[in-house]
Structure formats: structure tokens, C-alpha cells
Amino acid sequence: SSAPNYHIASIPGDGIGVDITQAAKTVLSTLSTASKAFTLSYTDLDWSSSAYLQRGYYMPEDWATQLRKHDAIYFGAVGWPSVPDHISLWQMILPIRQQMNQYVNVRPTRILAGTKSPVAACQKDPKLLDWVIVRENSEGEYAGQGGTTHGHTKDAIATELAIFTYVGIERIMRFAFEVAKSRPRKKLTMVTKSNAQRHGMVLWDKVFYEVAEEYKGVVEFDKMLVDAMTVRMVEKPESMDTIVATNLHADILSDLAAALAGSIGIAPSSNLDPTRKNPSMFEPIHGSAPDIAGKGIANPVGAFWSAAEMVRWLGNGKLDETAGRLMQAIANVTVTGVKTRDLGGEKSTAEVTDAVCQEIVKLF
């Protein structure tokens, strides 16, 4: 057939990352067969904390070359209690985001049918919460600059330098305005902390208003300090649509967003290189969840939603409908109460996966 084939680098990683990556591959395979719209071939990479403990490294030296041979990367989660988290993050996920030029992290949040929001108003009317958080993914507070002196003594001094560049800010603002413009409400809220952080965040604000000039009359926009933002997200969720924030701020706000939408287990993320010169990476926002790993009860919905976003990205406009059907299949399942424990259900990862596969088949 003429359906395009895409090469995917699959990195399940640690803990529930392994369970949910397997589940996502099952669902993608069903979607591929049912839709006949695309096929996938995988390279399975055992880049994980357990591999690190055995051989001393997460990724081989030629990791970037290996990844660049693929159209996209599907990622589970990395991190395990036996390895300090800053080592697992800095030996895998952060270098991938940086070197693959994935300077945007897109995190949509909606309340899926059948899931409960802890916000009473949203529980009544789930449509009140419908956001896309656009996270700066290459610099800011996670730029990696800093150092430690006298680390093993009580004279220890450590610095953690946040880096904000004109180029880095401008490109994320432009991306965020385009996302806002593409959505029905055409509204962008910019998050900052420029009252206390008077250099980097002030540049962040300045570039935002410069780019905003180009969208005047097209996209409505406003500005929030990050602390006040947490309150607004809980009290007036309907007052926002697209949100742009720095690496750290958006990391925190998107976990809050996921919790307000019902569970961290449903939230997806796309690490995008908008230039399409490098593969983009798709992963649920949650971590390896050591507390529930190996029990077969991880919620695979965030992984499925991430898979849908991967299909959408790969199709570059041609697979939107196919990705939409996967989202419909997920909603058809959650609405009937086939849910894992984090959503108040009692089903296993495998049972939810089977149910979503059956719905996919029905939708074609």
C-alpha cells in the first residue's frame, strides 16, 4: 500500500515506563492496522537505569547519531531509586531534549470523559478546563550551568544559573502564539516571575510583548506571575487557553494541570524540534513511579495520548483524523468506567489497553 512507514526509536526506560511503552505500542499497532493510514517500525533501545547500573552508562557514545536515523522517539520514563535522579536526568532525557533541538514541550490538558476533577466547577462542566501549556524546553532554569565548591563540607557553595537568551525566548513565544492562534479561543497567557527575578525574566517579558505586537487583534494575551497563576488555575480555569512558561515554571504548572484534570497518569507531552531537522520525542509527563512499578496497574492513558500526538506530528497534517480517532477510542473507554486506580477505577494496564484496542477497531 501507499501508507507511509515511520521509524521510531523506542526507549521504555525504567519502572512503569516499560509497562506503558508496551501498552502504547500495542495501541499504535492496532491503530495502524485498523486505519491503514501508516505503519511503524521500531528500534528498541535499552537505555535505562538498570542498564546504567550494569554497564556504567545510559546511552552509548554515538547516541545522537543513532537517534537521528529515526522519524520520532517514543519515551517511557527514566529514574530509579538506586541512581540519583540528577544523574538519570542529565545522562539521558535532558541531553536528548537539548541536542535534538527539542526546544518546545507541548502539554495539553483536558478532562477526559469519565474522569473526575478535584475542582468542583470542572467536575460539573469539564469543558471549563481546556489548556495547552507550552514549555520552554532548552534553556532557562534547566540549562545546566552552575557548580559546587567545598561540596563535602558545611562551607559548601552551589550555584544554579538560569540562562535566558533572546533567540530562545523569541522562538518559544512565536510557537506559543501560533498554538494560541490555531485554537478556537485564540488566547495566550504568559507566565513569569519578573518582579523578583529582574534580569532573565524581564527579558522574557520584553520579548513576549515584542512578539505579541505581531499578533495584536488576532490573539488575545495577558501576563501572570507564577505564584498567582497557581491560584488562577484552580479558581478560574475557564479564563485560560494557551499558556507559555519557562522550563521550571511549566514543569511545575503542568503537574498541577494534570492533577486538576484528574490524574498525572493521563497527561501527555511532545518534545518538538519545530524545524523537523531532528526527531521529536513523545512521552507521558509522569515518571517511573517506583511505588507502583511491576504491579501492572499503571494508567496507560498518558502514554496513549502521547502516541496520538506522535502520529499527529509524523503525519504533519495528514494523520490528524487518525490521531483523533485514537483520542476518541480513549474517551469511549474512560467514559464507561474502564479505568485504573489513579482514576478511581480498578482495571489493570492490560485491561485498559485491550479496551482501547477494541474501541479503535470499532471506529474504522
Instruction: Tell me how many residues contact ligand NAI (CB under 6 A).
Output: 21
Which of the listed partners (Mg ion, ligand NAI, none) does 49 bind, with a CB threshold of 5 to 8 Å by partner kind?
Answer: none
For the CB of residue 302, give the shortest distance to ligand NAI in the complex, in Å: 6
Which of the listed partners (Mg ion, ligand NAI, none) does 278 bind, with a CB threshold of 5 to 8 Å by partner kind?
Answer: none
Q: Which is nearer to ligand NAI, 146 or 296 (CB)?
A: 296
141 touches Mg ion by CB under 5 A: no
Of the candidates 14, 136, 251, 273, which one interacts with Mg ion according to CB under 5 A? 251
Q: Which is nearer to ligand NAI, 18 or 132 (CB)?
A: 18
Q: Which is nearer to ligand NAI, 207 or 261 (CB)?
A: 261
What the block records as the C-alpha cell of 134 is: 507550552
Q: Which is nearer to ligand NAI, 266 or 331 (CB)?
A: 266
d(CA 88, CA 80): 8
Of the candidates 200, 268, 279, 287, which one interacts with ligand NAI according to CB under 6 A? 287
78 touches ligand NAI by CB under 6 A: yes
93 touches ligand NAI by CB under 6 A: yes
Residue 255, classified by CB atoms within 10 Å of its CB into exposed (0-12), middle (13-18) or buried (19+), is middle
For the CB of residue 49, give the shortest distance to ligand NAI in the complex, in Å: 8
Q: Which long-range contacts (CB under 8 A, 24 or more apart) does 124-132 make?
A: 128/237, 128/238, 129/237, 129/238, 129/260, 129/261, 130/241, 131/237, 131/240, 131/241, 131/242, 131/243, 131/257, 132/106, 132/107, 132/108, 132/179, 132/183, 132/241, 132/242, 132/243
Instruction: Tell me how many residues contact Mg ion (CB under 5 A).
Output: 1
Q: What are residue 74's DSSP bridge partners?
A: 10, 282
d(CA 234, CA 231): 5
Of the candidates 129, 243, 292, 357, which one interacts with ligand NAI according to CB under 6 A? 292
Residues numbered 246 to 275 that lie near ligand NAI (CB under 6 A) are: 264-265
299 touches ligand NAI by CB under 6 A: yes
d(CA 255, CA 286): 8
Q: Which residues contact 20 (CB under 8 A, 6 or more apart)?
A: 76, 77, 284, 298, 299, 300, 302, 303, 349
Which of the listed partners (ligand NAI, Mg ion, none) does 251 bind, with a CB threshold of 5 to 8 Å by partner kind?
Answer: Mg ion
Q: Which is nearer to ligand NAI, 95 or 290 (CB)?
A: 290
354 touches Mg ion by CB under 5 A: no
> Which stretch, 51-59, 161-169, 214-222, 283-291, contacts ligand NAI (CB under 6 A)?
283-291
Nearest to 259 by CA among 238, 283, 230: 230
Contact, 209 vs 222, CB < 8 A? Answer: no
85 touches ligand NAI by CB under 6 A: yes
Share of the chain residues as helix, strand and coil, in percent rounded to the nearest 5: 45, 20, 35
Interface ranges with Mg ion (CB under 5 A): 251
Interface ranges with ligand NAI (CB under 6 A): 16, 77-79, 85, 93, 264-265, 283, 286-292, 298-299, 302, 340, 342
